[in-house]
């Protein structure tokens, strides 16, 4: 199983997204996602999120907000438990968008974000974040790239 963090940085109605186009064996290849990655030994979810954002963007999160935990179950990958953050207070200088080792960074209008290629389950938690839903637990069941089911706080969602 994997433990990961993912963060959506927000600024002036835009989200910082990462277009995953650089790695050859990337389960997220071609998709737009937030910034994050795998936990290192001994890290808390917040420490992982802050480190990953700094490494991938050059920005330092000042007030990351843990919004939920997302469980990904996929027949092609190990189960992943992802700690989902948002953050609108950060400092530092962002690296050149093309210098990110994971892909290309871009500030995207929130409305435009949903039109970009992404995992179908990401659209579910985007909606929950937009609704400003309190802390949630979301489970997403995939077969390959196809979302089969979703459950929110233990109750099945209609997708």
Q: Is the pLDDT of residue 93 over 90?
A: yes
The kind and range of the H/E element at 129 are helix 120-130
Distance CA 67, CA 148 (A): 23
User: Which two tokens mark 21?
Assistant: 């186009």
Q: Is the pLDDT of residue 105 over 90?
A: yes
Structure confidence at residue 158 (pLDDT): 87
Surface-to-core class of residue 71, CB atoms within 10 Å of its CB (0-12 exposed, 13-18 middle, 19+ buried): middle
Q: Are 142 and 121 in contact (CB under 8 A)?
A: yes
Domains and CATH numbers, the chain: 2-157 (3.90.79.10)
Q: Are 106 and 94 in contact (CB under 8 A)?
A: no
Q: For 40-94, give the DSSP string.
A: PTT--HHHHHHHHHHHHHS-EESS-EEEEEEEEEETTEEEEEEEEEEES-EES-P
The residue-averaged pLDDT of 140-151 equals 96
Distance CA 106, CA 19 (A): 8
Q: Is the pLDDT of residue 136 over 90?
A: yes
Distance CA 28, CA 47 (A): 23
Q: Are 114 and 128 in contact (CB under 8 A)?
A: no
Identify which has the larger pLDDT, 23 or 118. 118
pTM: 0.95
């Amino acid at each position: 199983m994997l433990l990961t963090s993912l963060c959506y940085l927000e600024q002036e109605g835009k989200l910082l997204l990462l277009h995953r186009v650089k790695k050859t064996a990337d389960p997220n290849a071609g998709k737009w996602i937030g910034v994050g990655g795998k936990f290192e030994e001994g890290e808390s979810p917040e420490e992982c999120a802050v480190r990953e954002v700094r490494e991938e963007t050059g920005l330092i999160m000042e007030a990351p907000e843990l919004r939920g935990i997302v469980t990904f179950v996929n027949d092609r990958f190990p189960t992943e438990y992802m700690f989902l953050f948002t953050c609108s207070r950060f400092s530092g200088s962002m690296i050149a968008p093309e210098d990110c080792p994971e892909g290309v960074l871009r500030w995207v209008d929130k409305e435009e974000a949903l039109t970009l290629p992404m995992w179908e389950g990401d659209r579910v938690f985007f909606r929950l974040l937009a609704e400003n839903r309190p802390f949630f637990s979301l489970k997403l069941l995939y077969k390959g790239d196809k979302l089969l089911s979703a459950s929110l706080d233990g109750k099945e969602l209609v997708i």
